[in-house]
Amino acid sequence: MKIEHIKPLHDFVLIEPLDQETTLPSGIVIPDTAKEKPQRGLVVATGPGRSNDKGEVKTLTVKEGVKVMYKKWGGTEIKIDNKNYLLVKEEDLIAVIND
């Protein structure tokens, strides 16, 4: 399965987690076993949005290519082409990162 074949439904967002820094400013290297799960990532696909009671679709506020921060334990981890991705609801996104 290829990433191009995945299209999230409703208000789900597919995120490619971004690695966090492995070296602290003091020069201390953090081993893989001590790292926390990443909480920031790149949006690679979005669903069309959620329908309200009137049948109107409310589009998502994030678009593909945007870097975001998300809740630490939110979402579902999936593996595509030997890469890890996270499928989360838009409500589990907490910020857009402007570099």
Higher pLDDT, 47 or 22: 47
| Reported confidence tier of residue 36, pLDDT bands at 50, 70, 90 | low
Instruction: Please give the CATH architecture assigned to the domain spanning 13-19+31-97.
Output: Roll (2.30)
According to the model, what pLDDT value does residue 55 have? 84
Strands (E), 1-99: 12-17, 40-46, 50-51, 57-58, 67-70, 76-80, 83-89, 93-97
Sorted by where each begins, the domain ranges of the chain are 13-19+31-97
pLDDT at 34 over 50: no
The bridge status of strand 83-89 relative to strand 76-80 is: antiparallel
Q: 19: pLDDT confidence band, cut at 50, 70 and 90?
A: confident
Residue 32 has pLDDT above 60, yes or no: no
